[in-house]
């Protein structure tokens, strides 16, 4: 029997979790050494929430977070919800143009950011957009290119000019504002917007999928129930927190059943993850197929004791049968589940059961989640017969409120409550769903959704590019890679290296075309539309040869 939906806010949720599991270990951050119980997590959350109040941030204000998997991310996730702030997730791979768009789209009043991550110098990029920081008192920023942004909070103890440190905001939370927290939380509704996640659209500009407490709490509980998570078990979370996979299916799912969130590092590293699995005796792990493959192929794999492993979620792209066999047999994740969804559905709409046969877990994405409806429709919107392909639509508590400040694209995506996924699917008589293609011109590279129209729009800003078509090419490592056909304005004006240099630090690394070909013309239909499938076929036939720099 389906469990009733929970009518609660995230502050209500965390209070109940602490009541039941307060002394259990809530989170382990291997890289920093932080290890907190649920009671300790809640105290940190309240301190930071009060600190945010002291800065003049109130219910409904948007606050961005641009950082890898760090302790501050977890605190910020719950603390912003505590006082009704809307947390805006910024992809750690974003560059200046994407950051500028995201912050301005939601009129972000504050930004929490790490100084840097891998090759991304976040502070440098922010200062490029807001040079006014150098002469600004923290909390009083007025930047021409970021007109709504007032407050910058930098992780760590030593902030740059014009920014507060995270530690300073925590210290401010020791004072009077803490007394106001409970009254503010009582004034929140489960159906308030609490999170905005950017997902690129086929028309170019990213869209801010807006999610509620109700959306993500109930989705987290449903996915945790399918995995049969138990109090005290450890869930390894190497997937990024900026995405629903990490912050909903990871953090909230673990919390729902008093499990421990284990973070191997700031980003995915197969060796660090394997060590965390063994030393923390993890029972569950989340990841995209490429992560599982990287761990299985790592030299350290055979030396790791994974005897505590049991379950988890594999999602983001299709799982090859050979990989599933190795995960079940060699990693001992015998109850691994396959999940399908999208950011706009909080995110999971389908998930396989822990006792589904491995063959079904490879061929399908499981069955519909509780309290959700699904149908498959043809181009005319008519429901197709069982087993016949069409566009997959979902409806229920999990559908987002809409795209932030974008009524037109919201109306295109949600009709009569039905979320149009853009994916082609079939559903068999037992209710198992197979994803058979995508209506949207999208590819998935290593679990990241990549929308060609967005890359095309960016590349066309190059003065020497006359026309460009971007599409996906099969890849043994990432599932798909980004390919681009380019018609230069002047013969010999461009090289592969010049195109990549133009992209570097301006768009996320996973969007930069890996295969680039310079051509004189594109294959077109009779009506003049580019035939991307022909370009893909030609590239595959030619052995994916790239243009010579």
pLDDT at residue 364 tops 80: yes
Half-sphere exposure of 140 (CA within 13 A, CB side): 3
Distance (Å, rounded) from C-alpha 211 to C-alpha 192? 8
Task: Please say whether the beta carbons of 226 and 284 come within 8 A.
Answer: no
DSSP helix/strand/coil, 52 = helix
pLDDT tens track for 479-521: 899 999 999 988 888 999 999 999 998 999 999 999 999 999 9
Q: What CATH number was assigned to the domain covering residues 443-541?
A: 3.30.300.30
Supply the pLDDT for residue 325: 87
pLDDT at residue 449 tops 80: no
Q: pLDDT grade, residue 203 (50/70/90)?
A: very low
HEC-encoded secondary structure of 164-230: EEHHHHHHHCCCHHHHHHHHHHHCCCCCCEEEEEEECCCCCCCEEEEEEHHHHHHHHHHHHHHHCCC
Beta-sheet pairing, 348-351 with 335-341? antiparallel
Distance (Å, rounded) from C-alpha 42 to C-alpha 15? 8
Q: How far is CA 168 from CA 71, 245, 463, in A?
A: 15, 30, 46
Closest CA to 293 of 261, 265, 272, 319: 319
Tokens in use for 477? 């490592």
Which residue ranges does the chain devote to CATH 3.40.50.980? 31-188
Number of C-beta neighbours around residue 34 at 10 A: 16
Task: Please say whether the beta carbons of 426 and 389 come within 8 A.
Answer: yes
Q: What is the mean pLDDT of residues 456-481?
A: 89
Tokens in use for 297? 């192929």
Task: Please say whether the beta carbons of 146 and 96 come within 8 A.
Answer: no
**Peptide bond before residue 347 is cis, with ω within 30 degrees of 0:** yes
DSSP helix/strand/coil, 115 = coil
CA dihedral 438, 447, 286, 34 (to 10 degrees): -140
Helix residue spans in 22-108 (DSSP H): 38-54, 71-82, 96-105
Q: pLDDT grade, residue 527 (50/70/90)?
A: very low
Residue 264 or 442, more confident: 264
113-117, 437-441, 491-495: least confident range: 437-441
Which residue ranges does the chain devote to CATH 3.30.300.30? 443-541
Q: What is the DSSP string of 245-278?
A: HHIIIIIIHHHHTTPEEEE-SSS--HHHHHHHHH
Handedness of CA 356, 361, 363, 367 (dihedral sign): positive
Task: Please say whether the beta carbons of 361 and 313 come within 8 A.
Answer: no
**Positions of E strands within 98-173:** 110-113, 151-154, 164-165
Closest CA to 343 of 240, 196, 450, 481: 196
Partnered with residue 427 across adjacent β-strands are 433
Closest CA to 246 of 228, 213, 220: 220
Tokens in use for 225? 């129930």
Residue 119 or 229, more confident: 229
Partnered with residue 88 across adjacent β-strands are 64, 196
Element (H, E) at 439: none
pLDDT tens track for 380-409: 999 999 999 889 999 999 999 999 999 999
Distance (Å, rounded) from C-alpha 306 to C-alpha 298? 14
φ/ψ bin of 139: left (φ > 0), alpha (ψ from -120 to 50), beta (otherwise): left
Q: pLDDT grade, residue 525 (50/70/90)?
A: low
**Nearest-5° angle of CA 112, CA 117, CA 123?**
50
Distance (Å, rounded) from C-alpha 157 to C-alpha 101? 28
Element (H, E) at 390: strand 390-396
Query: Of 175-184, 216-225, 350-359, which one has max mean pLDDT?
Result: 216-225
Supply the pLDDT for residue 162: 98
Distance (Å, rounded) from C-alpha 336 to C-alpha 348? 15
| CATH classification (class only), 31-188 | alpha beta
Tell me 57's DSSP state: -
Q: pLDDT grade, residue 3 (50/70/90)?
A: confident
**Using N-to-C axis directions, what is the helix angle for 321-329 and 289-296, rounded to 10°?**
60
CA dihedral 308, 36, 249, 412 (to 10 degrees): -170
Tokens in use for 114? 């790490």
Q: pLDDT grade, residue 544 (50/70/90)?
A: low
Closest CA to 107 of 136, 68, 134, 146: 146
pLDDT tens track for 292-342: 989 999 999 999 999 999 999 999 877 777 788 899 999 999 999 999 999
Tokens in use for 76? 């910020």
The pTM for the full model equals 0.85
CA dihedral 239, 202, 507, 198 (to 10 degrees): -50
**Nearest-5° angle of CA 117, CA 470, CA 393?**
85
Distance (Å, rounded) from C-alpha 261 to C-alpha 242? 15
Tokens in use for 435? 């994803």
DSSP helix/strand/coil, 434 = strand
Tokens in use for 5? 């939906």
**Residue recorded with tokens 């090859």:** 320
Beta-sheet pairing, 234-236 with 260-263? parallel
Distance (Å, rounded) from C-alpha 277 to C-alpha 288? 16
Q: How far is CA 249 from CA 261, 347, 513, in A?
A: 11, 8, 30
Mean predicted lDDT score pLDDT of the chain: 93
């Amino acid at each position: 029997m389906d469990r009733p939906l929970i009518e609660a806010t995230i502050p209500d949720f965390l209070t109940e979790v602490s009541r039941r599991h307060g002394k259990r270990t809530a989170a382990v951050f291997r890289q920093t050494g932080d290890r907190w119980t649920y009671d300790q997590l809640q105290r940190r959350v309240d301190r930071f929430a009060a600190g945010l109040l002291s800065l003049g941030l109130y219910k409904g204000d948007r606050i961005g977070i641009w950082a890898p998997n760090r302790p501050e991310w977890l605190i910020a996730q719950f603390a912003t919800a505590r006082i009704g702030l809307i947390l805006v997730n910024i992809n750690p791979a974003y560059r200046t143009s994407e950051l500028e768009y995201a912050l301005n789209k939601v009129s972000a009043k504050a930004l929490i950011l790490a100084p840097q991550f891998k090759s991304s110098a976040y502070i440098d990029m922010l200062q490029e957009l807001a040079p006014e920081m150098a002469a600004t008192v923290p909390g009083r920023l007025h930047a021409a290119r970021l007109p709504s942004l007032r407050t910058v909070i930098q992780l760590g103890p030593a902030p740059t000019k014009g920014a507060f440190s995270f530690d300073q905001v925590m210290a401010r939370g020791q004072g009077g504002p803490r007394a106001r927290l409970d009254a503010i939380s009582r004034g929140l509704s489960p159906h308030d917007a609490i999170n905005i996640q950017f997902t690129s659209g086929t028309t170019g500009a990213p869209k801010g999928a807006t999610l509620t407490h109700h959306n993500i709490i109930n989705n987290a509980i449903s996915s945790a129930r399918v995995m049969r998570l138990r109090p005290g078990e450890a869930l390894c979370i190497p997937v990024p927190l900026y995405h629903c996979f990490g912050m909903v299916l990871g953090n909230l799912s673990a919390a729902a059943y008093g499990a421990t969130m284990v973070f191997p590092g700031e980003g995915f590293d197969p060796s660090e993850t394997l060590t965390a699995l063994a030393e923390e005796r993890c029972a569950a792990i989340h990841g995209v197929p490429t992560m599982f493959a990287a761990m299985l192929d790592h030299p350290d794999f055979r030396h790791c004791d994974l005897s505590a492993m049991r379950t988890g979620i594999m999602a983001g792209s299709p799982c090859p049968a050979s990989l599933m066999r190795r995960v079940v047999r060699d990693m001992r994740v015998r109850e691994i589940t396959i999940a399908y969804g999208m950011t706009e559905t909080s995110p999971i709409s389908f998930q396989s059961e822990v006792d589904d046969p491995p063959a079904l877990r490879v061929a399908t994405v499981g069955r519909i989640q509780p309290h959700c409806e699904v149908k498959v429709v043809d181009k005319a919107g008519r429901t197709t017969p069982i087993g016949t392909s069409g566009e997959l639509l979902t409806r229920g508590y999990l559908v987002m409120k809409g795209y932030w400040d974008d009524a037109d694209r919201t109306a295109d995506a949600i009709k009569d409550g039905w979320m149009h996924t853009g994916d082609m699917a079939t559903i068999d008589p037992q209710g198992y769903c197979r994803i058979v293609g995508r209506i949207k011109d999208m590819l998935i590279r290593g679990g990241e959704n990549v929308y060609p129209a967005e890359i095309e729009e960016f590349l066309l800003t190059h003065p020497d590019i006359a026309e460009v078509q971007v599409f996906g090419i099969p890849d043994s490592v990432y599932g798909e890679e980004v390919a681009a056909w380019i018609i230069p304005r002047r013969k010999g004006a461009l090289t592969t290296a010049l195109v990549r240099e133009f992209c570097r630090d301006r768009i996320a690394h996973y969007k930069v075309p890996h295969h680039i070909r310079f051509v004189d013309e594109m294959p077109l239909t009779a009506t003049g539309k580019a035939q991307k499938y022909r370009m893909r076929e030609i590239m595959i036939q030619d052995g994916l040869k790239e243009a010579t720099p």
